[in-house]
Structure 1
């Protein structure tokens, strides 16, 4: 409404602005420091506003940020009486028209050394100049990745005059910290603060003081991305390593599982190493990977050792007495390792040996003892007839067919016994004697003696096979108990390692 009733106001202001610009810059030079007394320092007030964190390159240790830089100073040669210019209080002119302080970012890491944008300055009637310029800065930042991905960083932005010392330009801070009111939240970093501090440094080359303003940007990493993409998969893979002890030894996949888990963790370790600076400080997640890989390597080596015990053949030595007592009894009960047919409360007792097949044998101290048929011949006694039941004959035939290692000698002895010996077959409780001819009666004692030796050989082979099977089964149980023991040990180790790394996130 005011401009509607005063149509010449805008034209008057424009005319006086042109006149003011001609008057101010007719004898003005922007090459010299605008002070009336050259012995006095020019005060420059600095204010930094953080708008956005563009990138944090941990490997190259460079912080890229978008800043708004405000500089305010007094130019003693750009003053006017606003009443002489129709009340004109301020004008906006290109910054290249006036003298500007050479304040730069000391720790600049930009390869192109681009400065602030060429924006206008606001010039007031009392000579105050306010220069607001946006800038994308790349500053060097010492990155400490010891607790990655639960780390925090402190990046410093140091501003100061490049050529003027403290006796010529003095830097003042408008606020105690950087302005964060217009900050755009970063998805990876959380800004906790940006305190400002003025420093006055005496360099070795010069005796004059050089003031600077240092803004410390305090950052905290948002670890959710790394927890879900690097940490949790590693924890899940680590829990697969102890399960290798639970796999049956005959499956042939125990060592393959350990090697596969080790290769998977190596891939994750390389992903972390690509983003981290090659420094002596190993990241926390890298330490976790190394510890887990060491544990998996140890578990794979133990698996190979246990598989060697599991596959002990019949020629292996018997299990030592201390191992039977400590491993097969106590540890087997603690870790609930039982064979098929054993009770969870008490182990299965060994079954007594079956009765001897040959009549006339005696059991003494758990061993079969038979009387020598030649002694009977010396006593002019008739050698006893070998009496086998129908079921025992079938068992003997099945035993010979299931143990080919007994050899053809035992089989031929048994066949000759079937064809030439005199025996009684009991069929359904009814004894049926098969009589031999009179021509064979004189040869029966010799045939019985040979038959007796063959059956003793067969029985000895059966006993050896049974003893070898017992030794093999004991070594397999020892390997199974050790598998179960190391499985729980490594489960506990993985649990506490994962709990330690995840506790850093709280």
Structure 2
């Protein structure tokens, strides 16, 4: 029994070895016979007038990089090509039933299909992988490739932009009379696509065109594999737009700060410099083109114009605030417009102060030089409205020898002294009245400046909101 089992196993092993050797011998013989008189430099057709149809397809694997400044797209793709080679046909019965073999692609003829919009100086193209050849002459060649292609970047809506980058393939030497390129499907394969953190792949259509050139009678067949990608804008919103919005919102503080702080101009200029820095950062990521102004640049420029306008408005407010008594009281129409209508419109209440005349004390000096029976009566007659006590040391005044003359002379001196005192008091009161009027005029200008400042704050806030919405609403989905 053991001898029978050993005999069966030995027969199977020997038979398998003979079969494998035969298969290897058939493949080697097939390969030798196929390439005995084969030339990879000659177009493999039975008749010279015959055209070769090439089925060309592509699978997008990865978007490696998008260089916006140089407008170059780097992609990793898998190429899929198929054509018929009249010199690679055989009868499977003559070679042990072999219907397909795999051979190096460098040994066979390949269509000279190139990337027209190539931006790589090395022109490496696809990897030299093996090709599968069937007994009816059909050649299938799949190869990975990394392409650097030029892409016209439309930065009008940056960073909410959508780009259409085309990978344009065609033959360099053959027209449709000798080589006809057909797309394998209506769109490229996206099943193996690796998600990119910056770009979202929306579609990958294939467009076939037949451009006619003046050099040739027949047109060329060209395939455009269009990558429709949309930028993921979250990174730019967080790092560029939100800081700009917050910095521009700080401009409202320049109108809210009191004019006496002296920090209004400093804050405006600091905000303007910050926006300039953000604009420079955004310009570094965009191509230096003058065809269009990017959306983010429009927003920065609009915000900078508004901040510059706020600086001018701040200068106007400071000018009104410190106008004071140099030019007198404000015109009646201006006071009425600002303190009556504008203040009520902004719900600031009544910004008027009581009349200046109600604040000035009234002192009557009409009887200061009149005659009276005594010095106390003269003082009371001159200062009765103010009830200001005044005591004079009459005993020390110089007198004459005669009693009547002494009395008259003393009264005359008292009148003279009282008139001098009244004159001095009158000057003091007039100075006080002028000071009170000046303070009231100064306060009136300050109140006007406060109302105007608050009006400018609301005007700037509304303008900023309208400008921001107007720019951002231009984004197209």
Q: 3-state SS of the aligned residue for 1:286?
A: helix
1:359-418 Cα deviation digits (max 9, x unpaired): xx2xxxxxxxx32645x35x99977214879x987xxxxxxxxxxxxxxxxxxxxxxxxx
Q: 1:169 to 1:253 in 2, by over 3 A?
A: same
Partner of residue 316, structure 1 = 327
Q: 3-state SS of the aligned residue for 2:378?
A: coil
Q: Does the 8 A contact of 1:223 with 1:505 survive in 2?
A: no
- Structure 1 distance, partners of 2:220, 2:394, is 130
- Structure 2 distance, partners of 1:505, 1:243, is 33
Partner of residue 451, structure 2 = 481
Partner of residue 472, structure 1 = 442
Partner of residue 162, structure 1 = 172
Which residue, out of 257, 262, 268, partners 1:252?
A: 262
- Structure 1 distance, partners of 2:110, 2:259, is 80
Partner of residue 220, structure 1 = 230
Whether 2:27 is the aligned partner of 1:17: answer yes
Q: 3-state SS of the aligned residue for 2:196?
A: coil
For 1:380-459, what aligned pairs fall within 5 Å after superposition? 384-386=378-380, 423=390, 436-437=394-395, 439=397, 441-442=410-411, 443-459=413-429
Q: What TM-score comes out, normalization by structure 2 length?
A: 0.88
1:18-66 Cα deviation digits (max 9, x unpaired): 1111111111111100000110101111011111111111111111111
Q: 3-state SS of the aligned residue for 1:16?
A: helix
**Alpha-carbon distance, 1:274 to partner:** 1.4
Q: Does the 8 A contact of 1:41 with 1:170 survive in 2?
A: yes
Whether 2:119 is the aligned partner of 1:109: answer yes
Q: Does the 8 A contact of 1:315 with 1:468 survive in 2?
A: no
For 1:352-363, what aligned pairs fall within 5 Å after superposition? 352-353=358-359, 355-357=361-363, 361=364
- The worse-fitting range, judged by mean Cα deviation, of 78-87 and 457-466 is 78-87
**Alpha-carbon distance, 1:345 to partner:** 6.1
- Structure 1 distance, partners of 2:333, 2:368, is 43
Report which of the two has the higher share of strand: 1
Partner of residue 366, structure 2 = 371
Q: 1:346 to 1:313 in 2, by over 3 A?
A: closer
**Alpha-carbon distance, 1:191 to partner:** 1.1
Which residue, out of 49, 56, 74, partners 2:59?
A: 49
- Structure 2 distance, partners of 1:307, 1:326, is 19
Q: 3-state SS of the aligned residue for 1:385?
A: helix
- Structure 1 distance, partners of 2:196, 2:113, is 28
- Structure 2 distance, partners of 1:314, 1:392, is 32
Q: 1:273 to 1:163 in 2, by over 3 A?
A: same
Q: 3-state SS of the aligned residue for 1:38?
A: coil
Partner of residue 337, structure 2 = 326
**Alpha-carbon distance, 1:146 to partner:** 0.6
Partner of residue 204, structure 1 = 214
Identify unmatched segments of 5+ residues in structure 2: 1-8, 399-409
**Alpha-carbon distance, 1:251 to partner:** 0.9
Q: Does the 8 A contact of 1:316 with 1:471 survive in 2?
A: no
**Alpha-carbon distance, 1:313 to partner:** 3.6
Identify unmatched segments of 5+ residues in structure 1: 338-343, 362-369, 394-421, 425-433
Aligned positions, number: 448
- The worse-fitting range, judged by mean Cα deviation, of 253-262 and 325-334 is 325-334
Q: 3-state SS of the aligned residue for 1:35?
A: coil
Q: 3-state SS of the aligned residue for 1:154?
A: strand
Partner of residue 405, structure 2 = none
Q: Does the 8 A contact of 2:183 with 2:223 survive in 1?
A: yes
Q: Does the 8 A contact of 1:34 with 1:77 survive in 2?
A: yes
- Structure 1 distance, partners of 2:268, 2:450, is 18
Whether 2:359 is the aligned partner of 1:349: answer no
Q: 3-state SS of the aligned residue for 1:166?
A: coil
Whether 2:302 is the aligned partner of 1:291: answer yes
- Structure 1 distance, partners of 2:265, 2:438, is 27
1:70-107 Cα deviation digits (max 9, x unpaired): 11011101111112211112111111110111000111
Q: 1:186 to 1:392 in 2, by over 3 A?
A: farther
Whether 2:468 is the aligned partner of 1:493: answer no
Whether 2:293 is the aligned partner of 1:282: answer yes
Whether 2:32 is the aligned partner of 1:27: answer no
- Structure 1 distance, partners of 2:50, 2:150, is 33
1:310-344 Cα deviation digits (max 9, x unpaired): 1124333211000111101221233344xxxxxx4
Q: Does the 8 A contact of 2:51 with 2:177 survive in 1?
A: yes
**Alpha-carbon distance, 1:501 to partner:** 4.1
Whether 2:183 is the aligned partner of 1:173: answer yes
**Alpha-carbon distance, 1:346 to partner:** 7.8
For 1:52-71, what aligned pairs fall within 5 Å after superposition? 52-71=62-81
Q: What TM-score comes out, normalization by structure 1 length?
A: 0.83
Which residue, out of 324, 335, 346, partners 1:335?
A: 346
